[in-house]
A and B are shown apart, each in its own frame.
Chain A
Amino acid sequence: MSKTYYTEDHEWLTVDGGVATVGITEYAQEQLGDIVFVEAAEVGKQIKKGDTAVVVESVKAASDVYAPVDGEIVEANDALSSDPALVNSAATGNGWLWKMKLADEGQLIGLMDEAAYKTHIG
């Protein structure tokens, strides 16, 4: 299992061969509540850290999910189009949101590890 990185905006990512898989944390899915729609990530799109990569819609509201690092989106999680609730039931597993090819692996250094993230959410 590769190391998991976390952001202050409650995203997680794991990196394998220069490609990061990105999702939202358990904490984030709990805060959002029942997810009913995920606007699919746009494959081929170049995004910068902080850009909106995906929008998740709960019953009540729409929430942006930001790119944690710079890179190119290489895959969207197609399973979410028929089962968006995977983001709730498997936030850190099958409910991942997109994969991106990292532009600069050095950006990972600025992210939190699990212990730091746990402190962050209190």
Chain B
Amino acid sequence: MTDISARDLPLKDIHLAAGAKFGPFAGWNMPLTYPAGVMKEHLHTREHVGLFDISHMKLFVVSGSGAAAMLAKACPIDAAAMPIRQSKLSFFLNDNAGIMDDLIITRLGDERFMVVANAGNAVADEAHLRAVSANFNVVLEPLDRVFIAIQGPEAAAVLADAGIDTGGLVFMNGFEPRANWFMSRSGYTGEDGFEIGLPEADARALVEKLVTDERAQWIGLAARDSLRLEAGLCLHGNDIDASTNPVNAALLWAIPKELRETGTFIGADALRAAIAAGATEKRVGLKPEGRQPVRGGAPLVDDDGNSVGRVTSGGFGPSATHPVAMGYVRADLAKPGAAKLFAEVRGSRIPVEVAPLPFTQHRYFKG
């Protein structure tokens, strides 16, 4: 099942030796599952520690005297006001306030930031950052790193026992613990955890040490998806894209209130208009009745069969122990219990409830 046009991860040999099955994702051959299988991998992450190779994601260093101002133009973020070490979720918006990508931005120093972008958008993101940077005194440096996520309630203990100093990080903080390393306390599972970007040789030494700890095991992309879906986290390309804005996507919380009103970031006028007009549809959690999963792409209809929305991600939640999904519904239906909805799957209608997100409570370490 290897896609020959896709790129291989630098640690491919380690995943092969661990028994990974590979599949294509965003131009990369990614480990989808390991021999334990998606269900056990998912539950292991929630109980102990999952190791994820997320080297498909792209890291950029933005530095220079204009770094904060450039990021405040490219993203709806007050980069100059961020304390050093703080990480923030933000977006590249287009002129219609559509979400071209979602990103994590960390302030590393007075004039130095790390931007972590999605694999599928890495090329477009770099071009966008370069275009915006033309008007600022900044240096944009795309990094070539192995990127490993260590996720789960025992993540801090496993790293400590491996002799890795996590620098007293709390959730959504990051720093450079040594030359060419980047570490943040963040992730895509809803659990406490860390993401570490580092050179390949260092990564080999690190994961070799981590896998000797029986609390830690490799987790594939399939469980990464079920974990993030239970945690209510968006997958760009599924749940958000250039046609959805932060108002409809229920992500306005990531944009500071003052910026919504007075910001001059790209897409600011369109965002203000969208806020003034109100959400036309809203991203919500969806809980299918019964055991049958509903998948992304399934239309949502009301009792009379009228279209009221669509499922954007769906599957089975191993920790929730029932099917879980998210999608968009007409704004007046976007409250739990507001209406009886159905997902159309292969010609039959499966009742779904609008459900609060996340499906499994976040367990971040906030200090």
Q: What is A's interface to B at a CB cutoff of 8 Å?
A: 33-34, 36-37, 39, 55, 57-62, 81, 84
Contact = CB atoms under 8 A, between A and B. Distances in A.
Contact of B318 (A37, A39, A59, A81): A59
A83 to B, nearest CB: 11
B38 A57 contact: no
Given A59-B39, A59-B226, A60-B222, A36 B33 contact: no
B346 A34 contact: no
Contact of A60 (B38, B291, B292, B346): B38
Contact of B225 (A37, A55, A60, A84): A60
Contacts of B295: 61-62
Interface residues of B, number: 19
A36 B316 contact: yes
Given A59-B222, A59-B315, A60-B315, A34 B37 contact: yes
B225 A36 contact: no
Given A34-B37, A34-B38, A57 B222 contact: no
Interface of B: 32-33, 37-39, 42, 222-223, 225-226, 291-293, 295, 315-316, 318, 323, 346
B222 A37 contact: no
Contact of A37 (B32, B37, B291, B346): B291
- With most chain A CB atoms within 10 A of its CB, the pick from B37, B222, B316 is B316
Contacts of A81: 291
A62 B293 CA distance: 9
A39 to B, nearest CB: 7
Given A59-B222, A59-B226, A33 B316 contact: no
